[in-house]
Structure 1
Amino acid sequence: MKKLLSYSFWGALILLFYSCQPLVSLQIETIKPSQVNFPGAFNKIMFINLETDFNNDQEIDTLLFNIITNEMKLGFYDGIKLTPNIDSSRFIVGNHFFQSNLIYENDTINWNLLQEINRQYGTDIIIVIDSLNYIMDSGTETNYYSIPNEFYKFRELSIEVYWKMYDIYEKKIIDSFVYSDTLIWDAVDTDLKELDKKIPSVLSCVKEVSYFAAVDYSSRIFPVWKTQTRYLFAEGNKQFKIAAQLANEGKWDSASEIWKQYVKHVDKEIASRACFNLALASEIIENIDHAIQWAQISYDLKEKKRTKYYILILKSRKSEIDKLKGQL
């Protein structure tokens, strides 16, 4: 399995030695599992937009189709940048029109057609937009009580996307999800011409809301990196400062050897801090079970809210790691 965690300290080393606070913080990046049963083994992913009639006039809106599909492609590309196991070379966009009635025959999925797509493009996962709707509202209001008069303008654009995700190899639906979101742009000015310049064009608004629809959906279906903050006790005695320095240099094993000397210290505060730090060290080296054990010992020595919260975080991470085993 791929590495599930990376870290970096916040702030300079001067924080470790001259801060009055016993704790220092560090930033870690962990992998959040997909919210769906995302397969870890796959060849390529294809994105298909089946929505071609945006004006409901029974005609294909080629220009809008190309603009919206392209913006969603960019959204997926940026979403993929946050994943640990997918790169853009494995993501294909179906830029031509796919007829919905060919993919769905009598409300049944035409797996033969999907398998033909697999043979043609080498893709075994397909992300499909079944339907896509936009609702826009806009207006201008005048405040006559201000001198000079103030004008307020807004534009509100809502999007609703019916997403589906298919595993062609297994012939199953991975995800079926209705996504909805609303973006609002507004501005105030005393000059109507200047006010109009502050509000994006309708096309720009459509692009933006389409882009974020793809970004948001990618965070649902793909495992993604997420940033979290952890804490380390750098104060306690001189040895704790040395251990913190070693940890800051990435020498967690050496730092742990120092902390282990204090886990049975007569001062329970010192012992609790040592165990807390050992829990963090265990998490950093990806031994989540030992991390939970050390955190629990720390809490048993000193019942602190921070430690209790950390135990909950570690248990949640253990659950996430179990889910990730089939996704990476």
Structure 2
Amino acid sequence: MRFSNRIWNKIAIFLLLAVLTSSCVTMGRVELEVLKPATSPLAIQMENIRLHNDFLKQNQKQKADFENLVKYDKFRIDSLMSVELVKVVGEEIKATELARVTEIDSLGKYTAPGRNALILKNVDIVSEVETEPIYVNSRGAYYAAVRVPYKIEWEILHQSEKKNVTYHDTVWAEGYRRSFDKLADLVRFNEVMKYIIRKTGVEFAHQVAPHWKLTNRVYYRSGNNDFQRAAYYMDNGAYDKAAEIWKQYSGSANRSLAGNAYLNLAVYAELKGDIEKAMDYAAKAAESKNKLALNYLNTLKNRQKEIKQLLEE
């Protein structure tokens, strides 16, 4: 029987796909939170931390103090932002359960602490309309753009020594909506405020204190049917059941399969909080010249150094 070139081409493509599929390695990802040290030399002491809203204390005003409603609205925005910033910094620092936050004065009611504190000195947020609301026929919606320069100033007070941290930048707010009541709704001004809080509050807290960071680890899902079953357990949070399967293959005569099992067990150990055991498993996986395992082992070594640093602070 003679086959046409077209049929031979189809057979060749089928065989190529079969080879590629059989050699394909499928990786899985799992998220975990890791505790990171402060990101700058501005790190504060872990005991008796006080947070104080000096901006609001120095700018206590009533609506009657303003003849211009626009000025009052700006003060209101700055004031609300100052309260949220002090709160979010306090929450970020307390979340690690390593630092002792003794006071969060978000409303500026008390006298500023004299020796150790994080003090919000100034909040200056300006909104400048660049494009007044216009109707865009092609979108069937209104469009506007607002320029928002901002300046946030913090003071770190430690043993009466002061260090200042200033954030200043410009954010653009724009958007389309079929209808709107206020310009702030049209340009999604709330999203701008969230961005500024993250850049000048959350990131400031991470500069001066340890913090949790969400990251992910990769593991082997493929190898045989048992690895696929373990992957199902991982997807559903049954990590212990997945580990039981991988342990069965850690002593396999198939060096590659054993290395994959050891790397997966390293991920499992880190998820359980046992860094030493994770390093042990990763080292065994690296013996099979597994590049992924070598990189992971270095990651675990860095984590071990960071944990030691945190314990010494």
TM over 0.5: yes
In structure 1, distance between residues paired with 2:150 and 2:140: 34
Provide Cα deviations, 1:41-71, integer angstroms capped at 9, x if missing partner.
Answer: 32x5222324857xxxxx9999866653443
In structure 1, distance between residues paired with 2:219 and 2:188: 46
In structure 1, distance between residues paired with 2:271 and 2:218: 12
Would you say the 8 A contact 2:51–2:86 is kept in 1?
no
- How many pairs were matched up? 273
In structure 2, distance between residues paired with 1:21 and 1:320: 32
The structural deviation recorded for 1:264 is 4.7
In structure 2, distance between residues paired with 1:246 and 1:96: 52
- Indicate whether 1:182 and 2:170 are aligned: yes
Residue aligning to 1:71 = 81
Q: Within 5 Å, which residues of 2 pair with 1:1-328?
A: 22-35=26-39, 36-42=42-48, 44-50=49-55, 52=58, 68-82=78-92, 83-85=95-97, 90-93=103-106, 95-96=108-109, 114-115=114-115, 125-140=116-131, 152-168=143-159, 171-173=160-162, 176-188=164-176, 198-199=186-187, 211-212=197-198, 213-237=200-224, 240=227, 248-251=237-240, 255=243, 259-260=246-247, 262-304=249-291, 306-326=292-312
The structural deviation recorded for 1:281 is 2.8
In structure 2, distance between residues paired with 1:208 and 1:235: 41
In structure 1, distance between residues paired with 2:75 and 2:214: 35
Would you say the 8 A contact 1:134–1:159 is kept in 2?
yes
Aligned-residue identity in percent: 18
Note the aligned Cα RMSD (angstroms).
4.6
Would you say the 8 A contact 1:136–1:158 is kept in 2?
yes
Provide Cα deviations, 1:192-242, integer angstroms capped at 9, x if missing partner.
Answer: 9997861467xx799656644333323333332222222333444566567
Where 1:271 maps in the other structure, the secondary structure is helix
Q: 1:149 to 1:74 in 2, by over 3 A?
A: closer
In structure 1, distance between residues paired with 2:195 and 2:179: 27
Q: Which runs of 5+ in 2 are unaligned?
A: 1-23, 60-64
Would you say the 8 A contact 1:127–1:166 is kept in 2?
yes
Instruction: Determine which structure has more spread, i.e. the larger CA radius of gyration.
Output: 2
Would you say the 8 A contact 1:73–1:214 is kept in 2?
no
Where 2:96 maps in the other structure, the secondary structure is coil
Where 1:325 maps in the other structure, the secondary structure is helix
Query: What TM-score do you get using the length of structure 1 for normalisation?
Result: 0.62
Structure having the higher helix fraction is: 2
Provide Cα deviations, 1:245-289, integer angstroms capped at 9, x if missing partner.
Answer: 77743437x936x64554453312112112202322332333324
Larger RCO (CA within 8 A; separation ≥ 6): 1
Q: Which runs of 5+ in 1 are unaligned?
A: 1-19, 54-58, 104-112, 116-124
Provide Cα deviations, 1:100-149, integer angstroms capped at 9, x if missing partner.
Answer: xxx8xxxxxxxxx715xxxxxxxxx4112344444543222799997899
In structure 2, distance between residues paired with 1:64 and 1:185: 16
Would you say the 8 A contact 1:72–1:214 is kept in 2?
no
